[in-house]
Structure 1
């Protein structure tokens, strides 16, 4: 069984809805005196986090910020899938499709499961902002801008100057990070997840596991695309790397 690649859009529809739901839930718990759902409390009990008593508010604020970044990322990617990207007639296996849907549900839940369930509202918002929040958000914006530019470059290869789709074939992209790597949009995706790890304060092991998954997943896809370009375009730039510049 196979699904068309344009169904990638479904991943971001699910992510926008689910992570938006989690974001509202955490916002209510943080600022409106609400409580986290019982299933989150059950996960905390299983992980042994229910016994943690120390909560300065930083974990809640960091998680809230990361959920916001994740939701904004999903919104942008959904908009790009709907109005920017031009999908080929390629397909993906239905198992890969189902895994993708599950992944975008799990990744937001992972963030929510990292914070203590006992909310404390004793600190002002300004006191909860740390340097790693600023660094993480700045890196997120930087990587997101470059990813969008690269996706626009790819889409324009299949469009006329008027914006009409004229081809579904592959061409060699140039400009922005394409001058260094074959798949800069995959590299930018990795940087976006790294920026969220920074926003969580560097020490969240669970999120670093997510980053490692993104690294291997995007690297594999980039290597396959790089080999495709080299095989099908004899004049393909020799200096370009597959995934990470200069590596």
Structure 2
């Protein structure tokens, strides 16, 4: 447990330690959010394109369970994109990390590991077929110089399959945004405690929002967000449950 605490230390806890070997500035949090946005965007665009081109948009075809499953993956990736974009924005513009705040390299690498696996966990069931579709599409462009397999784009048709998703997807999205809004609020409160980067490192007690209920509401909100992913997935995907399990164990330990 003591060894794990050494890896988990960051910010003000790390500052109190005399052992700062193998650490990086805490502002490096932004690195894996940049990677997360890039990777999630790639998966979202390729999966969405695959879903759009796999069959004609007819009322009969969109009732097919496999097709709906693919669009459910697109829906989950879209939620993840909303999450990682906000986290990147907060890292750059909301949090004023102290110049002395450090993060253990293990935690830094864990961030990359998590944000590489998290998005792909949301579309794991269709990753192979999306990959094959993407490779074939690139090959076709290189050989023919065009994208003859891509249908003519209509915005309504591009978005209409989301309307055919079930109540679990929209309930999960509601839970997701409930946690998302509260995490945004809590991060805004935390960011306001240090008005500028040169302010001293004295600890200030945050108040407001879920800080009135628990000591680490931003972590609790993150757990709620990933509960939303599980509900939106329909609860049948093991990879999404594993994602929630890792989030709960990691953030509970960090809290």
Q: CA RMSD in A?
A: 2.3
Length-normalised TM-score, structure 1: 0.74
Q: Distance in 2 between matches of 1:116 and 1:81?
A: 29
Give 1:141's aligned residue: 177
1:3 counterpart = 2:24: yes
Of 174, 184, 187, which aligns to 2:217? 184
Q: Does 1:130 align with 2:151?
A: no
CA gap 1:165/1:72 in 2 versus in 1, 3 angstroms: farther
Q: Which residue of 2 aligns with 1:64?
A: 74
Inter-CA distance 128–154: structure 2 relative to 1 (3 Å threshold): same
Structure showing the higher helix proportion among its residues: 2
Aligned equivalents of 2:113 and 2:230: distance in 1?
21
How far apart, in 1, do the equivalents of 2:183 and 2:105 lie? 26
Deviation at 1:143, TM superposition (A): 0.9
How far the C-alpha of 1:106 sits from its partner, in A, is: 1.3
- What is the CA distance between 1:32 and its match in structure 2? 2.6
* Residue 241 (structure 2) aligns with: 208
Structure 2, gaps ≥5 residues long: 1-21, 56-63, 131-156
1:112 CA drift (Å): 2.2
Contact 2:172 2:229 in 1 (8 A): yes
Q: CA deviation at 1:70?
A: 0.6
TM-score normalised according to structure 2 size:
0.71
Kindly tell me the number of residue pairs found equivalent between the two proteins: 197
The 1:189–1:126 alpha-carbon spacing in structure 2 relative to 1, beyond 3 Å, is closer
Moved more, 62-71 or 97-106: 97-106
Residue 150 of structure 1: aligned partner: 186
CA distance in 2, matches of 1:166, 1:90: 12
How far has the Cα of 1:170 moved from its partner?
Answer: 1.7
Q: Is the 8 A contact 2:171 2:232 kept in 1?
A: yes
198 and 165 in structure 1: CA distance in 2 versus 1, 3 angstrom threshold: farther
Per the alignment, residue 41 of structure 1 pairs with none
Distance 1:126 1:24, change over 3 A: closer
**Alpha-carbon distance, 1:127 to partner:** 6.1
Cα separation, 1, equivalents of 2:74 and 2:182: 24
Structure 1: state its 5+ residue gaps.
35-53, 223-247
